Amino acid sequence: MIAILCILTPFIAAMGRLFHPHRSSAKITSLIASVTTYVFALFVSGNQIDYEWFPSLGLEFSLDGSGVSSIFVICTALVMIPTSIYASMHVSENTDTFLCLLLLVHTGVNGIFLADSLVLFCIFCELTLIPSVLILTGWNRTGKKQSIPTYVMYVIAGSLLLLAGILAILF
């Protein structure tokens, strides 16, 4: 259960920011979600969740917090706390949207580290890419917009290779 809370806490905070847009609480919400996720991450070790997702296809929703994945989740959650503080103090335009996208990236990264099935790993990888592209397009400080098409091209190529590799392993 703790493994799912490590994924759902930043996601719920991000969705709360989208549907409850009081700008004064964006910084506090992001910080509280980051600290709460860190507390949950401290107890994720050895936690495992297995649910049959699509039994006809043999797909499971499987999260595993044992081994090195728990260390990665703890490190990610720990790094997210100063990142939220720094972003809330130094991002001047659309801070609440930036923090929301940052929490969505945190959700995806935790899902990547906790995923125990290849399909779930692929889904979380793709879910991480969407907010990262939005962050790159909305808050590119250097003004060099030519980096965005290159990034998108590499993302699409990497995603297709990941999908082809997973399909080759599964079938």
pLDDT, tens digit (0-9, with 9 covering 90-100), for 28-68: 888 999 999 999 999 998 888 888 887 877 788 889 888 89
List the domain range (segments joined by +) for residue 55. Answer: 2-170
Place of tokens 């847009």: 21
Which residue in 16, 30, 21 sits closest to 89, CA to CA? 30
Ranges 1-10, 28-37, 99-108, 142-151: which has the least confidence: 142-151
Residue 18 has pLDDT above 80, yes or no: no
Give the SS3 label for residue 31.
helix
Residue 145: count of CB within 10 angstroms of its CB: 10
Compute and round to an integer the Cα radius of gyration of the chain. 17
Count of domains observed in the chain:
1
pLDDT in tens, 109-123: 999 999 988 888 888
What percentage of the chain has pLDDT greater than the value 70?
Answer: 95
Compute the C-alpha angle 4/9/12, nearest 5°: 115
Give the SS3 label for residue 63.
strand
Compute the C-alpha angle 70/80/93, nearest 5°: 155
Q: Burial code of 81-116, b = ≥16 C-beta within 10 A, e = fewer?
A: eebbeebbeebeeebbbbbbbbbbbbbbbbbbbbbb
Query: Which residues is 52 bridged to in the sheet?
Result: 60
